[in-house]
A and B are shown apart, each in its own frame.
Chain A
Amino acid sequence: MYSRELDGKTYTFGVSGKLWRDALLMYDHQTRSLWSHITGEAIQGQLKGKKLKPLTSIPQIAWKTWRKNYPQTKVLSVGKRESITRDNYADYHKSQRAGVSGTRYTDKRLSNKSLVIGVQVQVKDGADGIDGHDGADGQDGADGQDGADGGVVELGSSQRNPTQKQSQDTGSTFYRAYPLTQFTKNAIINDSVKGVPLLIYHDKESFATAVFKRIVDNKAVVFTSVVGYIAQDNTGTEWNLITGIATSGKYKGQRLERLSAVNIYWFAWARFYPDTTIYRP
């Protein structure tokens, strides 16, 4: 899910019919540049090197669960149909085949067709840790991030994995894969990536996936239990993990910051982000 606005212009996208790294390439109608739908980056054409702004969504959820939480939702209708009853890729999903055009590339840490939740975490350079946050780091305002962001980062030094991607003002991006098999007994995982406390939620019933920074009022909270999509944290606050909003308790009415997340086959995630770590309990 990406913004179609870039450098003050609006673009529309089509399907190029081309694959790169076994994944779809989009093209924009305005310049016919080719864009990876995995990274949001143009890899060929006039806009090569430009990157679309990623936006958050719930990448998959059962209709009844979505509707219950967003009763005002509208539903995409194509030719007066809101769905078709069959998944045309069902056979592909059941098979061991990796990539619709086949891939020889494998990262053997997991099997190719393992489903994972892929998470990207931006970590700013030079920001201070959560306990030491005093609002003094001047980087916060500069890039439009809110205050909570700067207060959760542990990298105070220049120590950094040189293989991680960097850009001018966002610092470094770290990648972690959460195998869906980790969620068979418990739908929530409290984790931290480079000092950023995260909550990973995946419900095997509704197949809903959500990833949040578990930071409230600049403090990390720990989630202790979940029933359906209502979770409780260590302050006794109850949170709706579909909307990210606290429904009762100390933090009632507060909203967790959602991170973009994808449900993706391991071979695809690892191919685009070979530096990814894998969550281990």
Chain B
Amino acid sequence: MKNYTLILTLLFSFTLYATAADYDNDPIKTLLAFDAIPAITKPQFVPAASAKLDTDAPVIGVTFNDESHAYSLYLLNGHEIVNDVVGGEKIATTW
């Protein structure tokens, strides 16, 4: 959680650098190092029955070839990307 505060502080501090012209120039802004937010490359899953999730928790849902995966949005805040395979389909879930 501390890590997170740091990241958000860094992100917000860049507010000052945005300019009205950046829509035309579309610069790439570097805010953090590569992988400072760790994407998930070897995702682990549990069955619905043993998932500890509030009933109203927001999830992303995907289904391919009768296989379905759900990802908690709050959990994805700290990872942004899940490299996954669902029903044989190799997917990148991004948030």
Residues of A in contact with B (beta carbons under 8 Å apart) = 1-5, 10, 12-22, 24-27, 34, 37, 43-44, 52, 55, 57-64, 66-67, 70-78, 81-89, 97, 99-105, 207, 271
Contact = CB atoms under 8 A, between A and B. Distances in A.
The 7 closest A-B pairs by CB, nearest first: A17-B32, A102-B15, A74-B45, A75-B51, A73-B68, A83-B72, A64-B55
B28 A19 contact: yes
Contacts of A34: 28
Interface of B: 4, 8, 11-12, 14-20, 22-23, 26-41, 43-48, 51-64, 66-75, 77-83, 89-94
A100 B12 contact: yes
Contact of B94 (A2, A44, A72): A2
Contact of A75 (B46, B66, B81): B46
Interface of B is mostly: mixed
Given A73-B48, A207-B58, A101 B11 contact: yes
A16 B57 CA distance: 28
Contacts of A17: 30-37
Contact of B39 (A14, A59, A61, A87): A14
A26 B34 contact: no
B26 A86 contact: no
A219 B78 CA distance: 44
Contact of B81 (A15, A44, A62): A15
Contacts, number: 236
B18 to A, nearest CB: 5
Nearest to A72: B68
B48 to A, nearest CB: 5
Contact of A74 (B12, B17, B48, B52): B48
A205 to B, nearest CB: 9
A73 B70 contact: yes
Q: Which among A4, A63, A67, A84 has the greatest number of chain B C-beta atoms within 10 A?
A: A63
Given A13-B92, A20-B28, A44-B28, A73 B81 contact: no
Query: A1, A5, A43, A52: which has the most chain B beta carbons within 10 Å?
Result: A1
Nearest to B27: A20
Contact of A102 (B14, B55, B91, B94): B14
A237 to B, nearest CB: 21
27 contacts: A1-B62, A2-B94, A3-B90, A12-B41, A14-B35, A16-B34, A18-B31, A18-B32, A19-B31, A26-B39, A26-B92, A43-B28, A57-B93, A61-B60, A63-B53, A63-B58, A66-B70, A67-B70, A76-B40, A76-B45, A76-B72, A76-B75, A77-B44, A78-B44, A81-B52, A101-B17, A102-B12
